[in-house]
Structure 1
Amino acid sequence: MRLAKFLAHGGVASRRTSEEIIREGRVTVGGEIVTDPARDVDASSGVAVDGVPVAGEEARVVFAVNKPMGYVSTAKDTHDRRKVTDLVPGRHGRLYPVGRLDVDSTGLLLLTNDGALAHRLTHPSFEVAKTYKVKVAKGPVSQRAVERLRAGVKLEDGRTAPARVVRVSGTVLELTIHEGRKHQVRRMCEAVGHPVVALERVKFGPLELGDLAPGKTRRLSAPEVERLRRSGV
């Protein structure tokens, strides 16, 4: 495998950034500095970056995060804002958010380095359900508004699929959707006359937020990951 690809698979950086790291003379193979990104290596070659060994293909991991308000759901941010990836302790290579939440939204978010799983959980064709606890303004929410949400709401980018809606109280709804349009829940509630005051994701596929405290993370067990892989249609 080419050295740049080996570093990328090992979670060091993207392939392009790995090439830059190599050319800067920060990478050694068998104790010798190598500046050629195309150098062939494998797990037994003794690759290291800044003296830290690189094992090669990284282990696939999935973390559940209770995202606090004020954090952005991205692995990089040009405005130096707090990122959800900062909440995971230790070094796990490149972790990416699955199913983003707005900076002002909270609740269950997944972080993983498993691209295939991330695709399955977010692509509309798999219809993986996500449930939100939503506090709205201008309550109480009428039965007519609930029925409109259940039937699908016409937005500027088309009508939404029918949602499952439970009226918890006059101003709190539990809303389940399987689409992933930008700001979808907020726009749906606005469309029926009830702007969102607070939004928390409480369930992603079969995984529930449970008692995970805000700002805390936990690594999912193998059975939990397998259930996620089987979720959706």
Structure 2
Amino acid sequence: MRGERLDRLLARLGLGSRKEVARLVRGGRVRVAGEEVRDPGCHVPPGATVELDGKPLRVRRHHHVLLHKPAGYVTSRTEGPSVYALLEGFPTRDLSPVGRLDKDTEGLLLFTTHGELLHRLTHPRHKVAKRYLVHLLHPATEADRQAFAEGLVLEGERLLPALLAWGEDPTRVELTLLEGRFHQVKRMFAARGNRVLYLKRLALGPLGLEGLARGEARYLTPEEEAALYRAVGLWGEDAQG
């Protein structure tokens, strides 16, 4: 196999535009398979090591970026303020969001370059859990819990069963869904005569927000990537992140 062009690979790793990474290469700062290269258009053989200033780069086949989305940003490239403005240094051109969060919704938003992974994470057939913290205008009730567990009928269509839980304060609840329809959380509570005042996604499958402040983004760890692939049945088929 011929491999990927060096300048495109470096740009995909978030090291700059094609012109910017070309300057890095021409400056003698990049080595491929232990050899200094100065041609940005050379092709990197599959599996070859790539170093910048003597430090090995992790050559990712796919990118998976976790963002702790703050309120006030839209999940869109064409409208603003855009969540992509929070992904400086990442290969935003190739990243697609796994589902969307409303402008006033906070929390976990995953981006990926892996089309099949995105499909499996969002398709209800794979039943990937999405857990939310919800502040309500009125206290949740046992009737709400039962209705959600049975599969709420929304606009004539039955939803998948959802888990509703709370502690001492029933206006502060957690809701776990196995699908992600348009404005689903808000519409579910509206159908029960309630209103969502605050919404935050806490988890997507095995992923959480621990250690990630609002507005911060990072690559998934290898352990998180493996857990995510296993969650949707891709481990062993396409497990290289």
Deviation at 1:59, TM superposition (A): 3.7
Aligned counterpart, 2:148: 149
**TM-score, reference length from structure 2:** 0.69
Alignment pair present for 1:64 and 2:66: yes
5 Å matches for 1:98-113?
98-113=98-113
The structure-2 alpha-carbon separation of the partners of 1:231 and 1:45, relative to structure 1 and needing over 3 Å to count, comes to closer
Deviation at 1:44, TM superposition (A): 2.7
Greater mean alpha carbon deviation, residues 153-162 or residues 181-190: 153-162
5 Å matches for 1:1-233?
44=42, 59-74=61-76, 76-77=77-78, 79=79, 81-92=80-91, 93-137=93-137, 139-156=138-155, 158-168=157-167, 169-232=169-232
1:62-93 per-residue CA deviation (whole Å, 9 max, x = no partner) reads 1111111111112x11x4x1111221231424
Contact 2:131 2:204 in 1 (8 A): yes
Runs of 4 or more, structure 1, over 3 Å off, are 9-13
Equivalenced residue count is: 189
Deviation at 1:97, TM superposition (A): 0.8
Letter in 1 for 2:164: V
1:129-185 per-residue CA deviation (whole Å, 9 max, x = no partner) reads 100011111x22221122112222111151111101112322011000111110111
Percent of aligned positions with the same letter in both sequences?
38
Letter in 2 for 1:146: R
CA distance, structure 1, for counterparts of residue 75 and residue 9 of structure 2: 23
Aligned counterpart, 2:56: none
**Unaligned stretches of 5+ in structure 1?**
1-5, 14-42, 47-56
Aligned counterpart, 2:37: none
The structure-2 alpha-carbon separation of the partners of 1:45 and 1:108, relative to structure 1 and needing over 3 Å to count, comes to closer
Letter in 2 for 1:64: L
CA distance, structure 1, for counterparts of residue 219 and residue 187 of structure 2: 32
Letter in 2 for 1:179: E
**TM-score, reference length from structure 1:** 0.72
The structure-2 alpha-carbon separation of the partners of 1:66 and 1:91, relative to structure 1 and needing over 3 Å to count, comes to closer
Contact 1:11 1:94 in 2 (8 A): no
The structure-2 alpha-carbon separation of the partners of 1:172 and 1:11, relative to structure 1 and needing over 3 Å to count, comes to farther
Contact 2:117 2:232 in 1 (8 A): no
SS class of match (2:231) = coil
Deviation at 1:209, TM superposition (A): 1.5
CA distance, structure 1, for counterparts of residue 203 and residue 170 of structure 2: 22
CA distance, structure 1, for counterparts of residue 70 and residue 227 of structure 2: 25
SS class of match (1:135) = strand
Contact 2:145 2:163 in 1 (8 A): no
CA distance, structure 2, for counterparts of residue 10 and residue 155 of structure 1: 46
CA distance, structure 2, for counterparts of residue 188 and residue 88 of structure 1: 31
